[in-house]
Amino acid sequence: MNHRFLERGAAWCGLVYLMLFGMGWLVLAHFFPPIAPTRNAAEVARIFEERHVILMLASVFMMCSTWALLPVSALLVMIIRKIEGGVGMVTLMIGFTLATYLVMNFYTPFSFALAAFRPDRAPEIVQYASDYAFLQFMGGIPMFLGVWALSAYAILVQSPRENPMIPRWFGYFNLWAAILYLPELLVFFFKDGPFAWDGIIGFWIPAIIFIIYFLLTPFILVPVVRKHFS
Amino acid sequence: MNQPGINSSAMGAGERKPPHIPGEAELWIFILGDLVIFGLFFAIWGWNHASQPALFAEGGAQMSWAIGLANTLVLITSSAAVAAGLTLVRQGQGTAARRAYQLAAALGGTFVVLKVVEYSQHILAGASALNNVFFMYYFVFTGIHLLHVLVGIGALLLVIRRCRQLQPNTPPGERDVAFLEGIGVFWHLVDLLWIVLFFLIYLAS
């Protein structure tokens, strides 16, 4: 059976994911930068009340971006399996971490939707749901850091030096991304300054890496599918 | 590193060998990326220092100048050992090279121990990363650097293992040299970043 149509499509889906998620997070919700963690409950609740419909629509876009993340995740697992020469530890681990990433990718906007659902709710409850979303997405790295760390391992350690399936520079890029996502754990400790979820290390650096990564995926994945999947 | 003079004299005009890149070219994406991020850290430190000079003077006074200097010397010596190790590998002296790398890794371990002693002294003295801007940046920036040291020690252990596999009195393969160079470059980066941190935190404050 020929699955090349699905595989070719999947190679572009990282970009589609970025567009859908960005449509919600950036274009509609204007969470770029996010609502500051220093804002009090009344201020946060007012944002969700005044922009109620738009924020709900943004949440729906972000939730639906999970659909685009699904095929590109599957393709990544298949590529790692080819690199490993069968289903080994790295294939399974990257599969599991992509699965939790998919879950997180749904539950972050779901929490925004929860915050926007009843505008007449007590402000503290709205803030709770909003905090839940931001902390989950920025501090959720234990759920998804493995995607970058394991990709780096597969590309740099498990692949042959000559004619690797994925270029080695992308392996180093993945390693760099994994290291720069790590300080995001600090969002749990700070409400202000560069480590907070709207700060340079808590938000801007990881956000820019996130965008670069998904912009790069078609350039990496389309040639891989063309050469190695037939 | 190759001396460009040797290359150009050995080869005819017009067919210059491409310049030698230590490690592999792709590695430098990671090295330069890391430098950019630490450059950002240094700028954040400098900006905060300039805007709150009293707080940073007070924090700087609590720094153990002796431990900071000791750690600087430990890392510089360790870097020198890594450089010596690479030279010995190139000369085909795998056993001596392994000893040099073992020394480098042990010095890396010394850095970690001293850093833990220093951290515990600050914590016992009541310093908190949560309500003092100086200590927040101090703990986070030196903590991220310490993470690099730990990664570097892990890499040096791989190097020591690789040295065991080298044939005695035979020049190493290109692949071995690239591997050792790459890890050497990373270790020098760790050293370089610490020297800047030492200057900013211990001397300038």
The H or E element containing residue A230 is none
Asked if the structure places residue A21 within a domain, the reply is yes
Asked if the structure places residue A228 within a domain, the reply is no
Of A70 and B27, the structure prediction assigns the larger pLDDT to: A70
pLDDT tier for residue B7 given thresholds of 50, 70 and 90: very low
| Mean pLDDT along residues B105-121 | 96
Structural domain that includes position A189: 4-223
Count up the domains in chain A and report the number.
1
Structure tokens at A156: 């740099």
Q: Is B2 a residue whose pLDDT tops 80? A: no
Asked if the structure places residue A230 within a domain, the reply is no
pTM for the model stands at 0.85
Gap between the Cα atoms of A109 and A132, Å rounded: 10
Which residues in chain A have their CB less than 8 angstroms from residue B40's CB? Answer: 200, 205
Q: Is B11 a residue whose pLDDT tops 50? A: no
Write down the pLDDT at residue B18: 74
Query: Of A115-119, B151-155, B171-175, which range is least confident?
Result: B171-175
Asked if the structure places residue A100 within a domain, the reply is yes
Asked if the structure places residue A50 within a domain, the reply is yes
Gap between the Cα atoms of A177 and B33, Å rounded: 9
Q: What is the ipTM of this complex?
A: 0.77
Amino acid at the residue B119: Y
Q: What are the pLDDT digits (tens) for A22-69?
A: 999 999 999 999 999 999 999 999 999 999 999 999 999 999 999 999
Q: A173, B29: Cβ pair inside 8 Å?
A: yes
Handedness of CA B97, B101, B102, B104 (dihedral sign): positive
Report all structural domains of chain B as residue ranges with CATH numbers, in order of start: 64-205 (1.20.120.80)
Asked if the structure places residue A150 within a domain, the reply is yes
Write down the pLDDT at residue B3: 44
Which residues in chain B have their CB less than 8 angstroms from residue A179's CB? Answer: 34, 147
- Residue A194, exposed/middle/buried by CB under 10 A (0-12, 13-18, 19+)? buried
Q: How far A190 CA sits from the closest chain B CA (Å)?
A: 7
Q: Which chain B residue shows the shortest CA-CA distance from A191?
A: B130
Q: B133, A161: Cβ pair inside 8 Å?
A: no
- Chain A touched by B29 (CB under 8 Å): yes
| Average pLDDT in chain B | 88
- Residue A191, exposed/middle/buried by CB under 10 A (0-12, 13-18, 19+)? middle
Write down the pLDDT at residue A3: 65
Q: Return the SS3 of B127.
A: coil
